[in-house]
Structure 1
């Protein structure tokens, strides 16, 4: 039986827009607006109006978090909740009180909090003004961050600027997964750069405000998707290198090393998709890097060289296409490969190429549809989730034994969450939420998670 280090923390991650609901919220974010205008885009037309109702149930939920063994917890402040008036920056004191009590309850429960500032949920007010396409928004993001640091800094030691920035640039802009469904790769690249710039500006504010407090640390949460070539043929290895460059190294290098990879700049220039920047901005990015890293990992991406020459394509299809490995073990509900082996690659890359920066696994989990099938005497018997967690923790344990500087593992999610356009199609939680009456029950996986958290035995 593998064991995790004695000081290692097990915990969970959620976000405000996916759990809190609309109670007492004065402003729409982009998902609120999308749902109000196109509810049929959401699975079973279930939107973010109620989600898991945690605005009203957080105290009871924190008690359940203790029962499933959470020692560390990541959530967000919602920009659209924090203010009465987004335009004038008038803070909503009732919602400040809500967040302060929420974080205080977590502190009383001896659960370490990593407070994230942004989880896809741009206020609709700022989206109308160009959002992430507009560099003015990077200054607005820094101001929002500054207000959060000053408002909650006495309660929070560990922060994150944003979660999975590449999902914003890809899903809203480069592709058409989420509204406004632009499908414009060049805009997506500019958005990626603007997110990097906004994160650096927020970190600069953080360093100024907490310059005399060495306990305060700030991170960024990146979803690392290891690129695996179909085989060792030169063209397929190169395809994987390009996928890794665009999807992983862009944000990793900027956040940890303070640099944009030169090869990326070369390729973007060739494609006529280079982002707009100034030398002053690059200096700011260079001088405002993270203290620790959050890593979200769900699945690898297997790639091969394009079957047709696509040199005229002004997106990543000129470099690679997805390869479907016939032996892959799949989560059929999500369409993702289950491949915990890639955690070894993540551990090694961070250790060898990024100065072994301190990091934690900030998301990892398995979403399954129609979990009611597995209800026995009121408890979801989710052995598939237990197996998933066990497999991934075993590879993480091995990486730590080989020198990886990883201090925690957070499951997505400790409680069933609303999941954007997928709504509640797939359930991820250790704790079940019955949408009819919002009743909570601990799943079998929650009992397993508590045992590992207490004993460190996987």
Structure 2
């Protein structure tokens, strides 16, 4: 008996990205990205000094990897097209070897009954574009729109689900606020410009896609993290509201509603942190409303009113308006240090239902990272019962949301095969499939076998 049965044609699968899985980072015409540059400059910033060249070799092994996906009963899979591989100079000439690779990869997915979900930007800015200013430059915004249109024209006959960006707030936070991504800037005004230009680029890509009138849908993937207040005290509630404005609504509102929250605009205006706007921007943003929303969810954000006054001489930061709060008794992933709060996935869906027109969505990432996962190796297989519990507990809340009319169409785990994760490299393992870094051998974990059954039965 299935206690949790999901709607017909539910999307079961996993997610990855080009820069985290392909490898071959400077082969076959591919140009450098900001990750190649940063690793060359600061290899000590990467766990065990493992850089972007040592990822999980999907470029060379995609056919056998897709056979593993089929074994896990995937009916969908998300990855990304690398801008630096397809158009090595950022603009202009297309790399024929890249076209061949992506066509072959898409053909292989489709031949095995796996619908490709293709994302266009996953933190992997081509270095030549970063040298022009990256997302601070409107020239780069236009170049991205051209890249997106090239992808639609080349692969639109095979791809019916497109996504403009994955977690677009992460390059903002990492690159321009908190120093965990290149170019390691700490400057809110520049961060706001990067965020704003990213959404202009998104809107231009949506505009280009719709102009082509292809058969399919276009969306965006956002990491939506509910902001929970410590208490119902007005100051704690205000802290959570502002955290939500900065970290969720700054991308969710323009993507779904085609405009920014008035409260956010007013707040940034008050502190002189608004990005430069040009005539026609508002009309462009209004054309960027998505057909489909990907939702990445890992852990909640808990906040409280600030305990201390802000140093006015310090750099302007979102944390001027709240402190983080560690809830006593919270459930933790002891292998990663993140809180586990399954109900968050339900709260996100209810918010989308009630405040965002119940936009069609799917869980595009959810997962559990574990450091030192080899300690759970028994007779050649990772016995990751903790991951099975993590996924099943989240799926129960997802099922509840669907039963209450939330328009959620699928669930993808991060990730398929243990893959490279930016400066953390292979420190934390997330996959259904174990990767031996030395031999590149793939071995399905216990969770992969469990998920294959869930997908086959459309429930558990």
Question: Under a length normalisation based on structure 2, what TM-score does the superposition of the two structures give?
Answer: 0.97
The 5 Å alignment of 1:206-225 reads 206-209=209-212, 211=213, 213=214, 215-225=215-225
Contact 1:175 / 1:184 at 8 angstroms: preserved in 2?
Answer: no
Return closer, same or farther for 1:235/1:73 CA change in 2, 3 Å cut-off: same
Q: Tell me how many residue pairs correspond in the alignment.
A: 454
Alignment equivalent of 1:341, drawn from 321, 340, 343: 343
Deviation at residue 88 of structure 1 after TM alignment: 5.1
Return closer, same or farther for 1:248/1:423 CA change in 2, 3 Å cut-off: same
> For 1:114, what is the secondary structure of its paired residue?
strand
1:358 maps to what in 2?
360
Alignment equivalent of 1:176, drawn from 156, 173, 179: 179
Contact 1:62 / 1:105 at 8 angstroms: preserved in 2?
Answer: yes
Return closer, same or farther for 1:382/1:174 CA change in 2, 3 Å cut-off: same
2:97 maps to what in 1?
94
* Distance (whole Å) between structure 2 residues aligned to residue 3 and residue 64 of structure 1: 24
2:195 maps to what in 1?
192
Deviation at residue 279 of structure 1 after TM alignment: 3.6
Alpha-carbon displacement from aligned partner over 1:63-117 (angstroms, at most 9, x marks no partner): 000111211111000011112x415521110111011000010001111111000
> For 1:284, what is the secondary structure of its paired residue?
helix
* Distance (whole Å) between structure 1 residues aligned to residue 92 and residue 420 of structure 2: 28
The 5 Å alignment of 1:367-446 reads 367-446=369-448
2:227 maps to what in 1?
227
The 5 Å alignment of 1:306-321 reads 306-310=306-310, 312=312, 314-321=316-323
* Distance (whole Å) between structure 2 residues aligned to residue 372 and residue 315 of structure 1: 39
> For 1:325, what is the secondary structure of its paired residue?
coil
* Distance (whole Å) between structure 2 residues aligned to residue 272 and residue 334 of structure 1: 37
Unaligned residue ranges in structure 2 (runs of 5+): none
Alignment equivalent of 2:64, drawn from 45, 60, 78: 60
Deviation at residue 25 of structure 1 after TM alignment: 4.5
* Distance (whole Å) between structure 2 residues aligned to residue 281 and residue 335 of structure 1: 41
Which stretch shifts more, 294-303 or 326-335?
A: 326-335
The 5 Å alignment of 1:294-313 reads 294-310=294-310, 312=312
Unaligned residue ranges in structure 1 (runs of 5+): none
> For 2:459, what is the secondary structure of its paired residue?
coil
2:143 maps to what in 1?
140
> For 1:62, what is the secondary structure of its paired residue?
helix
Contact 1:175 / 1:185 at 8 angstroms: preserved in 2?
Answer: no
Alpha-carbon displacement from aligned partner over 1:283-302 (angstroms, at most 9, x marks no partner): 11112311110100001100
Contact 2:29 / 2:97 at 8 angstroms: preserved in 1?
Answer: no
Alpha-carbon displacement from aligned partner over 1:187-224 (angstroms, at most 9, x marks no partner): 11111111111000111110111x2x4x3110000000
* Distance (whole Å) between structure 2 residues aligned to residue 438 and residue 24 of structure 1: 21
> For 1:110, what is the secondary structure of its paired residue?
coil
> For 1:307, what is the secondary structure of its paired residue?
coil
The 5 Å alignment of 1:114-133 reads 114-133=117-136
Alpha-carbon displacement from aligned partner over 1:342-394 (angstroms, at most 9, x marks no partner): 11211111001111110110000001011111111111000110010001000
